[in-house]
């Protein structure tokens, strides 16, 4: 990817992260429909819709909180735009990727709400694409842009949680 080269103005991620997660959902639901695949067994006592809303709501809250921190810092959220500030406040004190964590929670909320085995089976693949096609590229980019400040932050804060 062009942006993944030293000195590039952006991280050079392979795709916008929301599209990576959306692709897993669409492919999984499409497979369910096309191949009439079985659904996940429904949990006794706790409806999957309720659980899906809980995961999804938590994920959305985390994304909005992290986005607010980016906005206050005056830097762009999309990884295909140049970073101007290293954000380390709010949820970034505990996770280097709270927006991606929020997207993962929403994804799991979709799994619960739809009881889709196919969407669940694709989740590890989505996470691998995020890891190698987005997160590691971003980390190399941020290390180039912010140097020792980013390396210190990286040593102190976990990637996910």
pLDDT tens string 22-57? 999 999 999 989 988 877 776 544 457 888 999 999
Q: Apex CA 101: angle with CA 96 and CA 106, to 5°?
A: 160
Count the neighbouring beta carbons within 10 Å of the beta carbon of residue 34: 9
- pLDDT score recorded for residue 61: 98
H-helix segments, the chain:
17-35, 48-73, 98-114, 117-130, 136-156
Contact 27, 122 (CB under 8 A): yes
pLDDT value of residue 75: 92
For residue 99, what are the contacts with CB-CB under 8 A and spacing of at least 6?
Answer: 17, 62, 63, 66, 67, 77
Model pTM above 0.85: yes
Q: Which residues of the chain have pLDDT under 50?
A: 1-2, 44-46
15, HSE (Cβ side, Cα atoms, 13 Å): 12
pLDDT at 79: 87
Question: From the centroid of its chain, how far is CA 71?
Answer: 18
Biggest CA-to-CA distance, the chain: 54
pLDDT of residue 44: 45
Q: What is the pLDDT of residue 48?
A: 78
User: What is the average pLDDT score of the chain?
Assistant: 90
How many other CB atoms are found less than 10 A from the CB of residue 68? 13
């Amino acid at each position: 990817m062009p942006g993944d080269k030293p000195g590039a103005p952006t991280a050079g991620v392979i795709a916008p992260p929301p599209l990576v997660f959306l692709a897993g959902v669409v492919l999984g639901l499409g497979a369910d429909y096309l191949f009439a695949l079985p659904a996940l067994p429904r949990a006794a006592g706790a409806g999957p819709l309720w659980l899906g809303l809980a995961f999804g709501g938590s994920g959305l809250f985390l994304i909005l909180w992290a986005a607010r921190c980016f906005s206050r810092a005056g830097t762009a959220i999309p990884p295909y735009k140049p970073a101007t500030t290293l954000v380390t406040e709010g949820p970034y004190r505990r996770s280097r990727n709270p927006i991606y964590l929020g997207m993962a929670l929403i994804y799991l909320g979709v799994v619960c709400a739809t009881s889709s085995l196919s969407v669940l089976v694709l989740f590890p693949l989505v996470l691998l694409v995020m890891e190698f096609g987005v997160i590691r590229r971003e980390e190399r980019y941020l290390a180039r842009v912010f140097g020792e400040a980013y390396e210190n932050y990286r040593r102190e804060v976990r990637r996910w949680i």
